[in-house]
Amino acid sequence: MTDSLHTAQAQRGQPQSHEPAWAQASTAAAITLQARQLVIGHGKRMVARGLELDIGAGQITALLGPNGAGKTTLFRTLLGLLPPLAGQLLLDGKELMQWPRRLLAQRLGYVPQGQANVFAYTVLDTVLMGRVARLGPLAQPGAYDRELAWHCLEQMGIAALAERSQSEISGGERQLALIARALAQQPAILVMDEPTASLDFGNQQRVLDQIQQLRDAGMAIVMSTHQPEHALAVADQIALLHDGRLLGPGPAQAIATAENLARIYRVTPEQLRRRLGFLLEGRDGFDAWAAQSRGS
């Protein structure tokens, strides 16, 4: 990040005077998201219950679960886009649904799954939309916002696409643009619904590297994936959502065992071991593989 970005960032980091005191106090500090006996679902239809979660700064939490288990439902609830059916959901100790929408948008970033609606905005404008929650009402993006947007495009390797319309780029490129938009938002907690889906091998690796860099910079990341090896490579804690219940979050070795993964994906542990090999063959194999993946 350039010096001018740092300076402007520091200026922008000043709490807005119209924010409630409890929100001001948590603007710059690491913030936490906690679920207590949370029940999630759509209307009267319950999807999962009894969920216990602690999301904190500098941590990657990976969520695994079969199709339809409720991962997106959980994420939309954590973001305040769906009301909890019961239980508690606390952002910095305050009920999430009590937070003003605009303040939530400054703290919680979202990279949604796929992209059903593709609008004809340019890639650069899409990334600039990440700045909306940070601007005053009716304010236009300024030089700082544009510089930051370019920086995020470069980080995701798509600066060359900046002026292209979203409707004229590939699904994988759109996915990278959505991640760049979330980076531009500079949230404390970033929720990513299958961030590596539709990406080629190299871009999967770059996104996983980016996620680890964000974690190392103090961001909290919550991500879902259908590729257990991605969770095993980067996550500090893993949770399995299955049959309306959450197992974990906890350490990979305790939660993402061959037996547990085989059960949720309805395969045999042998089939799973054939696919994931030594990743699941005990502590030594896992540690060696994880160290290699992290480049240490």
Using CB under 6 A as the criterion, which residues of the chain lie in contact with ligand ATP when the complex forms?
A: 42, 45, 47, 65, 67-73, 113
Residue closer to ligand ATP (CB basis): 62 or 153: 62
Residue closer to ligand ATP (CB basis): 165 or 227: 227
Residue closer to ligand ATP (CB basis): 65 or 141: 65
Residue closer to ligand ATP (CB basis): 59 or 73: 73
Question: Closest distance between ligand ATP and the C-beta of residue 112, in Å?
Answer: 11
Distance CA 230, CA 244 (A): 23
Q: Residue 129 corresponds to which amino acid?
A: M
Question: Closest distance between ligand ATP and the C-beta of residue 62, in Å?
Answer: 13
- Helix, strand, coil: what percent of the chain each, to 5? 45, 20, 30
Question: Closest distance between ligand ATP and the C-beta of residue 137, in Å?
Answer: 30
Question: Closest distance between ligand ATP and the C-beta of residue 70, in Å?
Answer: 4
Residue closer to ligand ATP (CB basis): 99 or 265: 265
- Reduced to 3 states, what is the DSSP secondary structure of residue 201? helix
Question: Closest distance between ligand ATP and the C-beta of residue 247, in Å?
Answer: 14
Query: Where does residue 285 fall: left (phi above 0), alpha (psi -120 to 50 degrees), or beta otherwise?
Result: alpha
Distance CA 188, CA 199 (A): 25
If one counts every other C-beta atom within 10 angstroms of the C-beta of residue 15, the result is 13
Nearest to 27 by CA among 36, 41, 17, 37: 17
Distance CA 75, CA 65 (A): 13
Residue closer to ligand ATP (CB basis): 48 or 158: 48
Question: Closest distance between ligand ATP and the C-beta of residue 72, in Å?
Answer: 3
Nearest to 30 by CA among 219, 186, 181, 201: 219
Ranges assigned E (strand) in the chain: 33-42, 45-55, 59-64, 86-91, 94-95, 108-111, 189-193, 220-224, 237-242, 245-250
Question: Closest distance between ligand ATP and the C-beta of residue 229, in Å?
Answer: 17
Residue closer to ligand ATP (CB basis): 15 or 83: 83
Question: Closest distance between ligand ATP and the C-beta of residue 7, in Å?
Answer: 41
Place of tokens 């939490």: 61
Residue closer to ligand ATP (CB basis): 71 or 134: 71
Question: Which residues are CB-neighbours of 21 under 8 A, at least 6 positions away?
Answer: none
